[in-house]
Copies of this chain bind each other. A is one copy, B any other.
Amino acid sequence: PPCVDCAPTGGSVLSGTTLALPGMESGYPTVSVKGLFQVESAWFGQDAASTAAVGDIPDSTDFRRARLAATGHVAENVNYMIEFDFGFPGRPTFMDVYATVEDVSVLGNVRVGQWRQPFSMDALTSVKELMFLERSTAFTFFPFRQTGIGAFDTAFDEQATWAVSAFRYPVDQFGGSFGDSGYGLSTRLTGLLLEEGDDALVHAGFNFAHLQPSTHRFRFRSTPEIGFTAGDINGGPTVIPFFVDTGNIPAQSAQMLGTELAGQVGGVTLQSELMYAMVNQEGGPSLAFPAIYAQASYALTGERRSYNRKQGVFGRIVPHHNFGTGYSGAWEVAARWSWINLNDANIQGGELTDLTLGLNWYLNRYFKAQFNYIHAILSSPGAGDSGTDILAVRAQIDF
Number of copies: 3
Min Cβ gap A61→B in Å is: 4
A149 CA to B331 CA in the complex, in Å? 21
Mark A11-29 against chain B: 1 for CB-CB distance below 8 A, else 0: 1111111100001110011
Of the candidates B3, B66, B104, B234, the one whose C-beta lies within 8 Å of that of A311 is B3
Of the candidates B7, B18, B35, B171, the one whose C-beta lies within 8 Å of that of A129 is B7
- Chain B contacts for A30, CB-based, 8 A: 15, 399
**Chain A 321-353 residues near chain B, CB threshold 8 A:** 322-324
A101 CA to B367 CA in the complex, in Å? 10
Question: Which B-chain residue is minimally distant from A39 (CB atoms)?
Answer: B113
Of the candidates B18, B59, B366, the one whose C-beta lies within 8 Å of that of A179 is B59
Q: Is A220 an interface residue (CB 8 A)?
A: no
Q: Is A47 an interface residue (CB 8 A)?
A: no
- Chain B contacts for A278, CB-based, 8 A: none
Given contacts A113-B39, A116-B9, contact A1 B399 (CB under 8 A): no
Give 8 closest A-B pairs by Cβ, nearest first.
A62-B176, A74-B366, A7-B126, A10-B310, A29-B399, A3-B308, A15-B32, A75-B364
Given contacts A33-B33, A174-B230, 16 further A-B pairs with CB under 8 A are A3-B307, A3-B308, A7-B124, A10-B152, A11-B310, A13-B32, A13-B34, A13-B71, A13-B72, A15-B72, A58-B180, A63-B175, A77-B322, A78-B367, A91-B174, A103-B324
